[in-house]
Structures are given as C-alpha cells and as structure tokens.
Amino acid sequence: MQRLAGRHVVVGVSGSIAAYRACDVVRELRAQGASVRVAPTKGAQAFVTPLTFEALSGQPCLTTSLDLDDGRIPHVEEAYRAAVVVVAPASADVLAKMAAGFADEAILSLLLSFAGPVVVAPAMETHMWGHPATQANIATLKARGVTVVEPDEGPLASGRVGRGRLAAVGRIVETALQAATAPTLRGRRIVVSAGPTVEDIDPARTITNRSSGKMGLQVARALALRGATVELVRGPVTVAVPDTPGIVHHPVRTAAQMAERVFALTDAGVDAVVMAAAVADFTPTNKAGQKLKKQDGPPTITLSPTTDILATLGARSDRPFALIGFAAETQHVEAAAAEKRARKACDVVVGNDVGAGNTGFDVDTNRLYFARREAAASAWTPLLSKEACAEAVADEVESLLRR
C-alpha cells in the first residue's frame, strides 16, 4: 500500500554530516508512492551532490532561490504543489533561519511560500542542540505548527556521545506520512492489543500460538497516522514494531498481564478498544519451578481459563467506548464472528480465516469479515495486504465513533 500515491513531497537538506541519510528519506518517501523534489542548501551540496539527489528522486534539485523554469519560479510552484515539506537533516543554522524567516536558500524561500504541514528533523552536536538559542528556535517553530522529530542520543561526528544524531529514517518518514494524513482521529485515545501471549509450563517451555502481531500492529499504525493516541498493548510479537508518532507501547507477556494493562487503560478513559491480540484461553495451573525432565515421563498439565478480556469489557453496562473484537477461525467464519459479537456484546467482531494459505498467521495478506450489530450490514473485504486491512478497521473505528 502506497500511502503517498499521487502526492508530492519536498525534502530540504541542510549542511550536516547526516545529509547522506537524506538519501534514504527520499528513497522511502518514493516507496510510499510520492513524487519527491529535493532542495539542498549550499552546505548540503558540499556533503552530497545534487546529482545524487536527482538520481534518487528522478527530479532536478532546487539549488537556489534564483532558479527559473520556463518563466515560473520553482520554489513558489513547489510550495503550492507539495502535500508536506520535510527538512532532514535540519542544522542549527537552518532552524534559526526558519524561525527568523530568512529566505537566502531555495528551501527557506519555499517554506515562506508554503501553507501546509512541515516536518523538521534536527541533527547537530549535542551542545548546539541544547543551546538556549536553538531551543528557543525549536519552541518558535513548534508554536507555528511545525512538527519536530527530536534527535536521538548516540555517537556524534565529533567522536563524542550525546543527543543530536538525526532520528531514524523510519521515524522521519512515519512522521511525514502522519503529517500528510487527514487527522480524523485527533484527540481520540484508543487501546489496541496485538500479538500472542505466552503462558509458562516450566522455566523452559511455554504455551503460545502462531500470531506474529502483524495485523494488530498495522491497526495501531493506521489509527496513529490518523492522529489518535494509541495505547498499544502487545505480546511478544515477531515482526518490527511501527515507529509511528502517537503510539504508546505497553509490552506484556502473559494473558494476565495483558488483561491487567488493558483494564487499567480503559479505566483511565478511552474512546475505543480494538482487541486484535491472540490471547491464550488457558494457562497452566501449577507452573513447574524447574525444567521438567524427559526421563520423568510425560507431565500432567492442568489448565485454568484465563480472564476473557473482550467479554469483561463488553459486560460493562456503562461502557463509554466503542469495542471491536477479532475472531481467528478455520471454518464457518461468518457464523462464528456473528456469534462471538453477540455473546461478548461487542459493537463489531472482525473475523478472519486463519486456515487459508493466504490469510491469517505468518502471511502479509488477509481477508476480513466485519460482523456488525445490523446483520445485513455485515460484509467481507476482498483479499488485501494487512496494511490495507488495517485501514478498513480504522474506518470501522471512525464509523463507530461518529455514532
């Protein structure tokens, strides 16, 4: 799924040793479907040539505010064309000039002409970052609505260690995607559970399931990109966790830990809960303190039911939030999802066939059945990427909240 398909992005690059990492920012934005034009400052061109950026972007660079293109002023035209402007890396010099309204570089002239979302990712030596002048400039830019991707802490070009490293490329791109997405869920707080839980038999063995967490993580990302604050309660997932602004991470391991965290978050007040995790139904009653030995023969394992998180939430008579559950099934998906929705008093249960080869566990695609309160409104999605399926779940959340 290309979230920036048909959209245009301008990437400003300032004079910093981190300028080479702007190449990856350009590449990732293009992978999201965007057309990209790079505006390197004079300092940036000393680190990375315009030819490099032009090869990666497929478009000529904006290198000076004095450029003309068939009688048009490129930095003005780009300002009207762009969906978002990203400045990465942003040096202390460029931050100061942005705050003061300077226009002596193409990117600075463009920013003065641009009325849309701006994302800056600073990179500099740690004392430069912490200097009161730089922090005052950052505060000025934030007050104007500029989104700042805070620098990381780590080894710097000077050989020292401190805060000032350019943020991870993934975080910069995710922030740009969020800035270019309509904030339809801004101000909403949503709990999402994801991944498996793990129940101990002994210190070496566990009971778990095949859930990787892909579906739940993509749901959390889709909601965060729309502006929601997402409380992500995740078991030990086996895939990369999204670095999307707005996601608050709550790693847990067992069903009991997941229940405790979800209930604490909902008690504090949320707008919606999406239970996409594959929570264990049972846990060993008596966990062995030492590893069970093979020579002692097959152990007898007594199981006790875990807390049914979804049913407990659905049973709240004063429930102030929308509630969406998931049902992983291997047969009769429609009937099972509808029955689960009624039995657990959910607004919607999302069913998926985990027995098919191209849906469910361990694959990147899925086909979802939305079992709604109005049976006639229940429907399947086509086979989609899990990212696109997550968008369908996010649409469902928005629909419920509008009611």
67 pLDDT tier (thresholds 50, 70, 90) = confident
Mean pLDDT of 160-182: 97
Residue 73 belongs to what H/E stretch? none
Mean pLDDT of 173-193: 98
Beta strand extents in 266-347 (DSSP E only): 272-275, 282-284, 303-305, 322-329
71 pLDDT tier (thresholds 50, 70, 90) = low
Taking alpha carbons only, the member of 215, 177, 312, 188 closest to residue 258 is 312
Alpha carbon separation from 17 to 40, 118, 134, 166, 348 (Å, rounded)? 13, 22, 18, 10, 50
Least trusted range by pLDDT, from 215-219, 291-295, 369-373: 291-295
Mean pLDDT of 301-309: 96
DSSP letter at 17 equals G
Least trusted range by pLDDT, from 29-43, 64-78, 213-227: 64-78
Please work out, in degrees rounded to the nearest 5, the angle formed at the alpha carbon of residue 338 by the alpha carbons of 261 and 401: 55
Mean pLDDT of 335-360: 93
Q: CA 228, CA 308: separation in Å to the nearest integer? A: 26
Asked whether the whole model's pTM tops 0.85, one would answer: yes
Q: What residue has token string 């978002």?
A: 84
The neighbouring-strand residues paired with 193 are 233, 275
Residues 6 or more apart in contact with residue 47 via CB below 8 angstroms: 15, 16, 17, 19, 20
Please work out, in degrees rounded to the nearest 5, the angle formed at the alpha carbon of residue 326 by the alpha carbons of 321 and 330: 165
Q: Where are the alpha helices (DSSP H) in 245-385?
A: 255-267, 309-314, 333-343
Taking alpha carbons only, the member of 280, 275, 308 closest to residue 193 is 275
User: Cβ distance 306 to 381 under 8 Å?
Assistant: no
Taking alpha carbons only, the member of 197, 198, 241, 199 closest to residue 220 is 241
Q: Read off the tokens for 10.
A: 């301008």
User: Cβ distance 383 to 214 under 8 Å?
Assistant: no
Higher per-residue pLDDT: 373 or 65: 373
Question: 352 catalytic, yes or no?
Answer: no
| Cα-Cα end-to-end distance for the chain | 28
| DSSP secondary structure, 337-369, as one string | HHHHHHHTT-SEEEEEETTSTTSSTTSSEE-EE
- Report the C-alpha dihedral over residues 223, 226, 231, 235, rounded to 10 degrees: 40
Q: CA 6, CA 35: separation in Å to the nearest integer? A: 7
Taking alpha carbons only, the member of 138, 242, 169 closest to residue 18 is 169
From 137, 209, 352, 366, the catalytic residue: 209
DSSP letter at 21 equals G
Q: CA 135, CA 37: separation in Å to the nearest integer? A: 29
The neighbouring-strand residues paired with 322 are 272
Higher per-residue pLDDT: 353 or 251: 251
The answer on pLDDT for 175 being more than 80 is: yes
Q: Is the dihedral of CA 99, 180, 363, 235 positive or negative?
A: positive
Give residue-wise pLDDT tens across range 381-391. 999 999 999 99
Q: What domains sit in the chain, N to C, each tagged with a CATH number?
A: 8-179 (3.40.50.1950), 189-402 (3.40.50.10300)
pLDDT value at position 70? 66
Residues 6 or more apart in contact with residue 372 via CB below 8 angstroms: 341, 347, 348, 378
68 pLDDT tier (thresholds 50, 70, 90) = low
Give residue-wise pLDDT tens across range 225-282. 999 999 999 999 999 999 999 999 999 999 999 999 999 999 999 999 999 999 999 9
Residue type, 273: V
The neighbouring-strand residues paired with 201 are none
Q: CA 79, CA 75: separation in Å to the nearest integer? A: 6
The answer on pLDDT for 357 being more than 90 is: no
- Strands 229-234, 161-165: pairing is unpaired
**Mean pLDDT, the chain, as a whole number?**
95
Q: CA 253, CA 196: separation in Å to the nearest integer? A: 8
3-state SS class at 105: coil
